[in-house]
């Protein structure tokens, strides 16, 4: 019986290694899976490139990866949700279910959240970029429809877009601006379309992300580095800041109509960011955050399995774990990729 598996581990900035790690014992409600596909996210790239994501700093070797699908290999004695051979969507959030936030239905704000592939806790919550992994059955959703493992691994980023739109409020008939045409920006476009937006505009500073955004439903795409910011003034009812850029936030502040709402879903720099309080005050803007997702993961799986959405335009490449360093370099190059995924060799 296999007791170890190969994993990608980040020891510090630019220090990614392939190493053998132990597979946990299989408890009664645990499931052992092999990796189906694991998407490299912006937070994974921050850990890889900088050794941190905002305030979350790597303090011990971290296995990144929280966007994944798997194929069930073995199940514990009490498992009922899945069986060997099933393909599953993996929810990386493990909330306690007991704190005041969980009891209030805001699981993403859990006081004791254990979110896979994150340095937000210590010891770190080790992630899914490994050939095999063990999780509790409650974090798994079996999917029997004809959908690829790569698409299924997009449930988590899709849930982020869905949650951002949920935080935006009623979008029916409204104009929505999304800054950033990366994965989360594109997922926000898809979610805004599902929510009934009349027009979706995407801004970015590169051509490739804008082309992908158009493929998934953007009505207009704008090179924000090639237009006068004033030309965007009062152009949107809702803005979703998905770039994690102070310049993009400034665009949102200019573009959002008085009385509108800005949803901050991108991770902004940890230091040196002036807060635009006067603009928010004088124009009566709502500025709200969207962090991870609560119930939206289940919504995302449902939309994928019923083909209500098509995430395939985002899937740029799949590389085996043995080429993880190359995969991270490709994922960091926005001129060549949107979503790069790791797969088992």
Tens-place pLDDT, residues 210-227: 999 999 999 999 999 999
- C-alpha to C-alpha distance for 67 and 328, rounded to whole angstroms: 14
Task: Catalogue all structural domains in the chain, each as residue range(s) with its CATH number.
Answer: 4-154+311-343 (3.90.180.10), 161-289 (3.40.50.720)
- Counting beta carbons within 10 angstroms of the beta carbon of residue 183, is it exposed (0 to 12), middle (13 to 18) or buried (19 or more)? buried
- C-alpha to C-alpha distance for 37 and 27, rounded to whole angstroms: 24
Closest CA to 64 of 125, 5, 155, 143: 125
For the residues 93-104, what does the mean pLDDT come to?
Answer: 95
Tens-place pLDDT, residues 45-80: 999 999 998 889 999 999 999 999 999 999 999 999
pTM above 0.85, yes or no: yes
- C-alpha to C-alpha distance for 24 and 85, rounded to whole angstroms: 20
Residue 2: per-residue pLDDT? 60
- Work out whether strand 175-179 and strand 236-241 pair parallel, antiparallel, or are unpaired: parallel
Q: Which residues pair with 3 in a beta bridge?
A: none
Mean pLDDT of the chain: 95
């Amino acid at each position: 019986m296999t007791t170890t598996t190969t994993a990608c581990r980040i020891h510090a900035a630019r220090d990614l290694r392939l190493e053998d790690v132990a597979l946990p014992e299989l408890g009664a409600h645990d499931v052992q899976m092999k990796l189906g596909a694991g998407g490299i996210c912006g937070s994974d790239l921050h850990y890889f490139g900088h050794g941190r994501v905002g305030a979350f700093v790597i303090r011990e070797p971290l296995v990144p990866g929280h966007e994944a699908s798997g194929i069930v290999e073995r199940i514990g004695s009490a498992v009922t949700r899945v069986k060997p051979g099933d393909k599953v969507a993996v929810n990386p959030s493990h909330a306690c279910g007991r704190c005041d936030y969980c009891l209030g239905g805001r699981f993403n704000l859990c006081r004791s959240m254990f979110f896979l592939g994150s340095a937000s806790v210590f010891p770190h919550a080790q992630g899914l970029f490994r050939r095999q992994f063990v999780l509790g059955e409650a974090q798994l959703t079996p999917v029997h429809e004809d959908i690829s493992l790569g698409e299924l691994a997009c449930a988590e980023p899709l849930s982020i877009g869905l949650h951002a739109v949920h935080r935006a409020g009623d979008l029916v008939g409204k104009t929505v601006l999304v800054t950033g045409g990366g994965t989360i920006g594109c997922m926000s476009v898809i979610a805004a379309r599902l929510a009934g937006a009349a027009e979706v505009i995407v801004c970015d500073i590169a051509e490739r992300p804008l082309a992908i955004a158009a493929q998934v439903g953007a009505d207009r795409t704008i090179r924000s580095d090639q237009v006068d910011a004033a030309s965007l003034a009062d152009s949107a009812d809702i803005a979703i800041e998905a770039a994690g850029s102070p310049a993009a936030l400034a665009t949102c502040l200019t573009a959002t109509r008085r009385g509108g709402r800005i949803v901050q879903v991108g991770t902004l720099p940890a230091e040196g960011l002036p807060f635009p309080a006067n603009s928010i005050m004088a124009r009566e803007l709502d500025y709200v955050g969207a962090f991870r997702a609560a119930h939206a993961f289940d919504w995302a799986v449902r939309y994928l399995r019923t083909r209500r959405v098509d995430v395939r335009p985002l899937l740029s490449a799949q590389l085996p774990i043995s080429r993880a360093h190359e995969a991270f370099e490709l994922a960091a190059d926005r001129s060549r990729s949107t979503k790069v995924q790791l797969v088992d060799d």
